Amino acid sequence: MLIVERIEKSYSKAGRFSAERHLVLKDISFQCKPGECLGIIGESGSGKSTLGRLLLGIEKPDQGTIRLKGEPIGKRTTRQGNISAVFQDYTSSLHPFYTVEQTMIEPLKLVAKSRKDMHTKIDVLLHQVGLDPSYRSKYPHELSGGEAQRVCIARAVSIEPKFVLMDEAVSSLDGSVQLQVLELLKNLKAIYGMGYIFITHDIQAAAYICDRIMIIRNGRIEEIVPIEQLKDVKSPYARKLLDQVIT
């Protein structure tokens, strides 16, 4: 279980030495059960990526706590092997001089029992994300956007984490590829049973894979709704998004 309690985060308004602070996240509390897919929705600048970085332990909150299985997320041992991430910008997420295989070996080194085990695992993972074994030797510039994102997803699930955090992970893929990747995420969830934190501004994509949706606005949680009740959502922002999708 991921438990977030009363977190707050601010940044300096004008550079590092300015005393003026911009409060980006306020009083954020929520929980995410093992195997759950929680969508985090909000317009640009609402604080979604900041919240994502706090959940990954990349940055620390000014106040409040984030715990995974009772342990603070700030501790390396809490994160290691338990949480991984997929970001929007798949091209910069992959090292340009690493082949797909080299990219995938890195996190596997931490969990695989042997070299042979590692190589078998890579074949299985590539197959699971719909790429044939010939992709092992390809470099990022030889991949399409959809293929590169599949490699990032394969790498994120390879350690069989408790949670995968995705920040706009499908947002820059075009329509049909986006749907294929969402379908792939659903399948991987069925295989590995991990939870997803799915950050997006796209309510339709979130509705497709999430169990619950949290709407964040100006750094505050406006509402959390189970997906079955999305049509009754009260948040004016979510209503506006839904109306755009329907019409």
Residues at the interface with ligand ADP (CB under 6 A): 11, 24, 42, 44-50
Calculate ∠ Cα 18-19-20, nearest 5°. 95
Contact 209, 170 (CB under 8 A): no
Closest approach, Cβ 114 to ligand ADP, in A, equals 40
Complex with ligand ADP: residue 135 or 237, whichever CB lies closer: 237
Contact 154, 103 (CB under 8 A): no
Closest C-alpha to 87, from 190, 39, 156, 36 = 156
Complex with ligand ADP: residue 40 or 112, whichever CB lies closer: 40
User: Which residue carries 């998004």 as its tokens?
Assistant: 241
User: Which residue carries 């509402």 as its tokens?
Assistant: 223
Closest approach, Cβ 207 to ligand ADP, in A, equals 18
Complex with ligand ADP: residue 23 or 118, whichever CB lies closer: 23
* Interface residues toward Mg ion, by CB under 5 A: 48-49
Sign of CA dihedral 209, 212, 217, 220: negative
Q: Which does 47 bind (CB under 5 to 8 A by kind): Mg ion, ligand ADP, none?
A: ligand ADP
Complex with ligand ADP: residue 38 or 104, whichever CB lies closer: 38
Closest approach, Cβ 130 to ligand ADP, in A, equals 28
Closest approach, Cβ 17 to ligand ADP, in A, equals 13
Length of the chain: 247
